[in-house]
Structure 1
Amino acid sequence: MSDTKPAPTLYMSFDADQIGGRLFWHTWPDDRAVTGTLAGTLALPANAPLSLVVSGGGAVASSANPEPFVGFDIKEFCVVSRPQIVARGPSHPVLQYAAPSPFAGHDTACRSFRWEGGSQDERTDDYLNVVKTLAKPLELGAAGSWALSILVTVAIYRKGPAQQAPIRVFAIDVEAELSAPAAR
């Protein structure tokens, strides 16, 4: 029997009608620490794939909502990383920082790309949630820590009088840590 954990997935979501620009986020499996040094951190395994999912939802037609939410497109997905100190002290006379990016093969702090992947609608009587999954997981790099900002630019579509889709930017700011798997 294998002790291998499934590859992590970062889920991000927004409501098309929310006033603020914050994305709600969680991981699966949910390894987010609630106590200790990594409390609230996006803790992920180093040198592993990371799947990404963005979901956006909104109210469907009602007398109170003449322009119901019908979907969204991701125009841009951008990750800005700020490397943190990974070694300091008497045995390290020069501060050592994590690589500029937590992603394998990237040596810059900004990674922006167009989203390519599938979409699935989840509908209830009064709410539509559209779930978009990145087609190919991102490859995480070596161990380290970063302050991450993830910005997702979306066009929000509504049913109603012809109008241009409003463009919104939603974001997450989180501390992230990539670490080698614990020895068992």
Structure 2
Amino acid sequence: MTTMLARCTPALLALPLLAAAPAQQGDPLRSVYTTLDPAQCRTIRTYEETGDSEQRCPGIAGHVLLVSDGDARVSVTVVTPDRRQHPLDYWTVITSGFSSLGPRAEWRVRGTGRALRPVALIVRVNANEDPEVPERRTSYLAVARLTGGRVCVTHRIGPYANANELARQAADRAGTLPCLGPRQ
């Protein structure tokens, strides 16, 4: 009995690590970047009364990003190759404060060329959450899953020294995780 337990213990200890690891589906995940720079995106709608706007930014593998700016708050909608729109609702999921986006989107992908498959999206959201100190910004990384069911935000990574690496790790397993709800 003791010998059998000793043989099984290493395997049992490894189970939580295996459960937490992203599923391997052949190709390793890597990053591809596209711009969110307003000068390189195309304005497709402007609302005269409010000044709100929507821009179409390039994506990859038939995906497009729509950047919505309303009341000095921004969000992204992912448009999939079948033209379905998936709002990520950064203004409720990431921050309700005034916000802006970082200059680029990071796509976590598998494959190459025509076989390129995006599995997750990482976007920097810079938020002003303290009206008393408008120049103070908090930088978040919004991680969204693009596979595994509904397209949605699964992680809100705060301003840590290793935030980029944490966001990539979260993105690599986002397809199996639940969507975030509105912040309270």
Report the TM-score, using the length of structure 2 for normalisation: 0.24
Report the TM-score, using the length of structure 1 for normalisation: 0.24
Would you tell me which structure has more helix in proportion to its own residues?
2
Would you tell me which structure has more strand in proportion to its own residues?
1
